[in-house]
Structures are given as C-alpha cells and as structure tokens.
C-alpha cells in the first residue's frame, strides 16, 4: 500500500498518521472507503499491530476516519475533516515561507500576484467534485 | 498480563536484581533493553520460571509461574544459547515439543516448513548457528504459545530471515494476541517492532514506557541566538545534555514538543530545529543521566 521509513527518527505511529492523512486529503482514499484492517496492515508492513491501532485512534480523534464496531475503520467525508489544528499548522508554514520571501527581497506585490495565480489555478479552494474528474476511474 | 512485584535475585552474595516491579500487557511486544550485565537474562529466566526469585512475586494472569505447569505450558523461552538434544533431527524435536505442549499445531509446523525451507530429516546439530536459531523459532511458533520470551533473538540471523521472523511474530500478535518479550542490546533491532520498552540498568528498571510516548517526550534541539543564549530559557527547559558546535548549541530537552517549541520561540532564536531522538540516542542519554559513563564507551 505504501512504505514507511523504519529507520527514520519519526515515530512509526506518526508516520502512519501522516501517510493516511495525505492519502485521504489527496482522495486516494475516498469518503466511506474502508481502511485496511489492523491485522492485514500489520502483516503486510511488518509493523506492530498495537502501533497501527494507536494510529487509527489518533486519526479518528482528529476526525479523518470513523469506526464502526465490528466492521472496521472508514474515511470520513471531506467537509467534516478539516480540523482547526491542521489549519494552524498550514498557517505556521505560510508565515515561515512568507517571512523568508520578504527577507530574500520579494515585494508585497509579487506575493499578491502569486496568490492570485494560485487562486486561479486551484479554483479558489472551492471543492467541486464534478469538475475535478480525477476520481472517475474509481466510480 | 505479566506482573512482577519487587523481585530480587542474588548470585554468590551479589545482588543482581533489585526490587523489580513492572507489568506487561497481553498482546504487547515488550523490549527489555540494558547494558551488558544489567540482569536482562536473569530477569527473563525468572519470568519464565527457570530461576526462582528470592523475594517478590511473578504472576501471569494471576498465577505464580515457578514450577506451575499450567502457566509454563503456555509459554516458550528461546534462550541466547540454544539447546537441542544431540543426534535429534528437526522432526524428532518436533515430536518432543508436541508431547510437551498441548497447544502444538501440526498444521502450522507443516506450513512453516515452506517459510524456513529446512530439511526436517536432518540432525539439528548439523545446521549452522543461524539455521539452528530458525529451527528454534519454527518449533516455538508451531507450539502456539500465549507468551513468547526471546533472549537476543536476532543474533546470527541474516536480514532476510530476520524480517521473516519479525513478520511471523507480528502475525501471531495480530491474530491471537500473543505476548512477546524481547531482550536486546541492539536497539535498532527492536525499535521497529516493540510498542513498549523497559531499560534495565545495574539490576533496576531505570525507565519503562510506551515507545512512542518515550519518543514524544524527548527531543534534540539545535539552536542559535543572535547574542547570548538567554539564561532564563535554560532554566525554563529541562535540558539533559548540552553540546556546543560553533555558535550553534545542541540540546537534549525533555518535554512535550509544543511546549518546548513555544518556550523556545518566545526568545526568538535565529536558528531553531527540533528533531525526535532515535531509541539508541534515548538509551545513551538516559543511561548517561543514570551515571553510566557513556562517553568513555563511545571513544
């Protein structure tokens, strides 16, 4: 399914959480899709099942997945899953990048132009499932 | 659940274990770490009931272990130096295990033959060291123990077999909640499969924690300030270790990541980097704090 870096300093459980978030945000895993069971994933990836269990609990508490008793874990529909915490993180990253840009001599106008360009490209962050078309193969 | 309470053990008037108290949850993979001579093997032998503690109690699911067949038949210990009967083939050893362990699963034994690919008609003594260790795992896993205790289990196994064995262990943990205790001084070897670790030092448990929590609680910080390092900041943080590298300081800091970051950022460092520690580094710094002179060893 995906590979983790077992030699990395980052705890395996954090890597798992981040990986699943990425897959969910990029809609590789779609709303209401079932996540692999703890047993299957443990087996496939040679990871301690307790670690996977913990990662799933964390994803659930952050609102990325929900679990049904006896059935497993499923991806939460998109509108409900953007957590405040995640927004704050992105803000921090933006702040850092913008300060760096200003330090390197970029002007406010340049940044505004860049912003316009990005908004143009992504359609202003408004999610439109019909227009995206990227998931046709799965439907 | 394995429960040890105030266990002590003395050999030749020398106390090897002092007041060991800890618990291991069912279905967990517990890494028992420690320096050479810390008492790991002695502790394992007490857990499996080969040695008897002088004081304290060892209980598995509420029952004493020592000379208790009911408990011992659900438990397998693979020691550091393996023992097989001389002249026995793998097949004969398997028969012996089958007689001893009521939970023996012949189907599993046959299945695992594909995995290990060793000739069961051959005498165990004719195999190499690493192959004999594979035989030990093969027999142990076929006996379907509830608790598997391993002393330096990966010594002498090549990387492919090591991965195979780890995978088999994980399958049993996932499928039937087997509890595994692994002692090792090779931290990288246990870092990727254990969920809980205990560090044993000079016969006492120095530290015992969920591995991810342990990692989340200690960080490596690289930091530089425009002028002096603010003394107030150093007081606010719990710094285990400090190194100077030119104008950049390297700190080992204890505490939650967000809190540490908040404190540090309020002093506006010009360089600031926070990294998690590897288990090996945690071990070195914790042991250093306990008076185990690490630097002398690393020279």
What confidence tens digit (pLDDT) does each residue in B146-190 have?
999 999 998 889 999 999 999 999 999 999 999 999 998 778 888
Q: Which of A37, A65, A80 is the last residue in one of the domains?
A: A80
Q: Which phi and psi (to 5°) does residue A133 adopt? A: 65, 0
Among partner residues A7, A14, A50, which is closest to B195 by beta-carbon distance?
A: A50
pLDDT at A73 over 50: yes
Distance CA A43, CA B151 (A): 23
Question: Considering only CA atoms, which of B33, B74, B29, B278 is closest in space to residue B167?
Answer: B29
Measured CB to CB, residues of chain A less than 8 Å from chain B are 6-7, 9-14, 38-39, 42-43, 46-51, 54
**More confident call, A114 vs A127:** A114
Task: In whole angstroms, give the CA distance from residue A137 to residue B228.
Answer: 59
How many separate helices (H) and strands (E) can be counted in chain B? 12, 14
> How many whole angstroms separate alpha carbon B49 and alpha carbon B68?
8
> CA nearest B161: which of B111, B128, B125, B115?
B115
Alpha-carbon distance B270 to B3, whole Å?
Answer: 49
Q: What is the pLDDT of residue A138?
A: 44
Q: Which of B125, B58, B65, B56 is nearest to B90 (CA)?
A: B125
**Is residue A6 in a domain?**
no
**What are the sequence ranges of the domains in chain B?**
2-212, 217-298
Alpha-carbon distances, residue B295 vs B82, B246, B289, B298 (angstroms): 34, 20, 12, 5
Asked if residue A132 belongs to a domain, the reply is: yes
**Residue-averaged pLDDT of chain B:** 89
Q: pLDDT at position B236, please?
A: 87
Q: Check if the beta carbon of residue B124 is closer than 8 Å to that of residue B90.
A: yes
Residue B296: pLDDT over 70: no
pLDDT mean over B43-53: 95
Whether the CB-CB separation of B220 and B276 falls below 8 Å is answered with yes
What was the pLDDT predicted at B270? 87
**What's phi and psi for B205, nearest 5 deg?**
-80, 115
Query: Does residue A76 sit in the same domain as residue A88?
Result: no
B182-211: per-residue pLDDT in tens? 998 778 888 889 999 998 888 899 888 898
The Cα–Cα gap between B93 and A77 comes to 55
pLDDT at B120: 94
pLDDT tens-digit series, residues A7-49 = 777 888 889 999 998 888 878 888 899 999 999 999 888 899 9
CA of A6 to nearest chain B CA: how many angstroms apart?
6
Residue A85, token pair as written in the block: 């915490």
**Do residues A9 and B278 make contact, with C-beta atoms less than 8 angstroms apart?**
yes
What pLDDT score was predicted for residue B156? 84
Question: Which of the residue ranges A7-11, A96-100, B272-276 would you say has the lowest mean pLDDT?
Answer: A7-11
Whether residue A71 sits in one domain with residue A90: no
Tell me the pLDDT tens digit for each residue of B111-136: 999 999 999 999 999 999 999 999 99
- CA closest to A11 among chain B residues: B212
Neighbours of A53 (CB within 10 A): 17
In this prediction, residue B70 carries a pLDDT of 93
**SS3 state of residue B186:** coil
pLDDT, mean of residues A107-116: 90
One domain, residues A128 and A88: yes
> Can you tell me the mean pLDDT for B130-147?
96
Per-residue confidence (pLDDT) for residue A132, from 0 to 100: 44
Mean pLDDT value of segment B227-256: 86
Confidence of residue B61 (pLDDT cuts 50, 70, 90): very high
Interface contact flag, A9 B163, Cβ < 8 Å: no
pLDDT at A126: 57
The pLDDT score that the predictor gives to residue A83 is 61
For residue A50, give the nearest of B278, B185, B178 by alpha carbon. Answer: B178
Residues A98 and A117 in one domain: yes
What was the pLDDT predicted at A25?
Answer: 81
Residues of B in contact with A9 (CB under 8 A): 275-278
**Three-state SS for B124?**
helix
Residue B170 to residue A11, Cβ atoms within 8 A: no
Residue B2 CA to residue B23 CA, distance in Å, equals 6
Chain A hits for B171, CB-CB cut-off 8 Å, are: 42-43
Class of the CATH domain delimited by B217-298: alpha beta
Average pLDDT over residues B273-295: 76
Indicate which CATH number applies to the domain containing A51: 1.10.10.10
**Please, which pLDDT band fits residue A139 given cuts at 50, 70 and 90?**
very low
Find where tokens 């598997």 sit. Answer: B148
Cβ atoms of B287 and B206 closer than 8 Å: yes
Residue A97 lies in a domain: yes
CA-closest candidate to residue B155, choices B51, B41, B74, B42: B41
Q: Which of B27, B166, B175 sits opposite A50 (nearest CB)?
A: B27
Q: Rounded to whole angstroms, how far apart are CA atoms A60 and B36?
A: 42
| Secondary structure class of B39 (helix, strand, coil) | coil
Beta bridge partners of B75: B147
Mean pLDDT (whole number) for B28-57: 92
Interface residue of A18, A38, A50 to substitute, partner B, most B CBs within 10 Å = A50
Per-residue pLDDT averaged across A115-131, rounded? Answer: 68
Contact A48 B29 (CB under 8 A): yes
Instruction: Tell me whether strands B2-11 and B14-24 are parallel, antiparallel or unpaired.
Output: antiparallel
Residues of A in contact with B170 (CB under 8 A): 42-43, 46-49
Q: Are A20 and A63 in contact (CB under 8 A)?
A: no
Q: Looking at the 3D structure of chain A, how many domains does it have?
A: 2
Query: Are the beta carbons of B167 and A43 separated by less than 8 Å?
Result: yes
Average the pLDDT over B99-119 and give the result: 95
Res. A129: pLDDT tops 80: no
What torsion do the CA atoms of B117, B118, B120, B123 make, to the nearest 10 degrees? 180
Fold of B2-212: Rossmann fold (3.40.50)
Instruction: Mark which of A65, A80, A95 sits at the end of a domain.
Output: A80
Distance CA B185, CA B202 (A): 14
Q: List the one residue out of A57, A8, A51, A56 whose CA is nearest residue A35.
A: A56
Contact A46 B28 (CB under 8 A): no
* Contact (CB, 8 A) for B273 and B221: yes
Same domain as A114, residue A74: no
Residue in chain A closest to B171 (alpha carbons) equals: A43
Sheet holding B63-64, edge to edge: B14-24, B2-11, B55-60, B63-64
From CA B51, how far away is CA B77, in angstroms rounded? 13
**Which residues constitute the domain of residue A36?**
12-80
Name, in order, each residue with C-beta under 8 angstroms of A49's C-beta and a sequence gap of 6 or more. Answer: A38, A39, A42, B27, B170, B173, B174
**pLDDT, average across residues A61-84:** 80
pLDDT for B291: 65
Contact B212 A48 (CB under 8 A): no
């Amino acid at each position: 399914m995906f590979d983790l870096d077992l030699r990395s300093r980052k705890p395996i459980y954090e890597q798992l959480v981040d990986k699943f978030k990425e897959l969910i945000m990029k809609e590789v895993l779609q709303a209401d899709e079932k996540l692999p069971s703890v047993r299957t994933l443990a087996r496939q990836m040679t990871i301690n099942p307790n670690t996977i269990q913990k990662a799933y609990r964390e994803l659930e508490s952050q609102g990325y997945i929900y679990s049904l008793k006896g059935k497993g874990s499923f991806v939460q529909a998109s509108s409900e899953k953007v957590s405040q915490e995640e927004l704050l993180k992105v803000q921090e990253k933006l702040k850092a990048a913008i300060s760096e840009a200003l330090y390197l001599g970029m002007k406010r106008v340049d940044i505004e132009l860049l912003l316009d360009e990005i908004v143009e490209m992504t359609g202003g962050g408004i999610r439109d499932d019909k227009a995206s078309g990227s998931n046709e193969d799965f439907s | 659940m394995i429960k040890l309470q105030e266990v002590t053990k003395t050999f030749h008037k020398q106390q090897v274990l002092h007041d060991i108290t800890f618990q291991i949850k069912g279905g967990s993979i517990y890494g028992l770490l420690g320096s050479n001579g810390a008492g790991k093997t002695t502790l394992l032998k007490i857990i499996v009931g080969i040695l008897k503690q002088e004081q304290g109690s060892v209980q598995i699911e509420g029952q004493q272990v020592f000379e208790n067949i009911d408990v011992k038949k659900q438990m397998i210990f693979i020691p550091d130096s393996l023992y097989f009967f001389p002249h026995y083939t793998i097949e004969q050893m398997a028969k012996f295990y089958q007689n001893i362990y009521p939970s023996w699963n012949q189907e599993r034994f046959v299945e695992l033959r594909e995995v290990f690919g060793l000739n069961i008609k051959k005498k165990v003594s004719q195999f190499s060291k690493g192959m004999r260790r594979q035989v030990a795992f093969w027999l142990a896993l076929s006996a379907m123990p509830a608790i598997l205790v391993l002393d330096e289990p990966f010594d002498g196994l090549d990387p492919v077999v090591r991965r195979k064995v780890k995978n088999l262990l994980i399958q049993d943990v996932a499928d039937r909640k087997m509890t595994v205790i692994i002692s090792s001084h090779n931290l990288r070897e246990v870092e990727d499969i254990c969920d809980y670790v205990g560090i044993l030092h000079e016969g006492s448990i120095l530290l015992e924690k969920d591995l991810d929590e342990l990692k989340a609680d200690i960080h490596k910080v690289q930091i530089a300030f425009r002028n002096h390092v603010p003394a107030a900041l150093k007081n606010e943080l719990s710094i285990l270790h400090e190194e100077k590298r030119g104008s950049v300081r390297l700190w080992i800091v204890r505490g939650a990541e967000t809190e540490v970051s908040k404190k540090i950022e309020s002093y506006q460092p010009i360089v600031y980097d926070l990294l998690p520690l590897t288990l090996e580094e945690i071990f070195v710094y914790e042991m250093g704090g306990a008076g185990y002179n690490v630097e002398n060893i690393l020279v």
